[in-house]
Amino acid sequence: MAFEATKFNKAKCKVLHVGQGDLQYQYRPGDEGIESSPAEKDLGVLVDEKLDKSQQCAFAAQKANCILGCITRSVTSRLREVILLLYSALQRHGPVGAGPEEEGHKNDQKEHLSYEERLRELGLFSLEKERLRGDLIAAFQYLKGAYKKDGDRLFNRACSDRTRGNGFKLKEGRFRLDIRKKFCTMRAVRHWNRLQPTVVDAPSLEVFKAGWGFGKPDLVEDVPAHGREVGLNGL
């Protein structure tokens, strides 16, 4: 049976050179080379050649402020309940905006009210708590959930005879570069080790989420509630 295969489209491909030791090779699938790019988007996140996502943070903050501007121009009501409902529906707070990987690009802007006070008034979680929640859910999926077969390559079990705490402790790895510290496999370990045994031994992801919710204040008391924010004070 004869069929015509789709031709390789070089115009839709870009090369992103990553790392200080990269030799900047030019890839040539044929006679013409593939163009290099200083930044590319993968899974909705814009990443540059230094693995720096500050452009993604700026884009997410700009998008959020644009949505707030549209609400301001289109809605006459300034009731907190109305604005909060509209904003929560149109712009997801947390990981999709300036996501969990943006820990290295937090801005502590304070105008009229501090970020903590704004969150408290609106009943929203801080980005740090959203990131922590996402990290722990990902860790559970790789250690005991849907991606368990790949978990052994990402996390290492800690050998300990201590009976205090949960019995599924992880080993905290060492890193030479600061960027490695921001990987989920590094930053989630300390918080995972502090989980209660009943939470770690949850039979399913839904049970894990519910159990972690009860112990959340103890977990995040040392996590400052500040991050890249949008102009909520202007509403």
Helix (H, G, I), strand (E, B) or coil at 213: helix
Distance (Å, whole) CA 143 – CA 154: 9
Minimum mean pLDDT range among 2-6, 70-74, 194-198, 221-225: 221-225
Distance (Å, whole) CA 226 – CA 215: 21
8 Å CB contact between 234 and 73: no
- Asked whether the predicted pLDDT for residue 217 surpasses 60, the reply is no
Closest alpha carbon to 196 in 168, 161, 157 = 168
Cα 116 to Cα 7, 167, 207, 228, distances in angstroms: 53, 34, 29, 12
Residue 68's φ and ψ, nearest 5 degrees, are: -65, -40
**pLDDT tens track for 125-158:** 677 787 788 888 888 888 888 888 888 788 877 7
Per-residue confidence (pLDDT) for residue 52, from 0 to 100: 75
- Asked whether the predicted pLDDT for residue 225 surpasses 60, the reply is no
Task: Specify the pTM.
Answer: 0.51
- Asked whether the predicted pLDDT for residue 162 surpasses 80, the reply is no
- Asked whether the predicted pLDDT for residue 104 surpasses 70, the reply is no
- Asked whether the predicted pLDDT for residue 216 surpasses 50, the reply is no
Per-residue confidence (pLDDT) for residue 112, from 0 to 100: 65
Structure tokens at 29: 């699938």
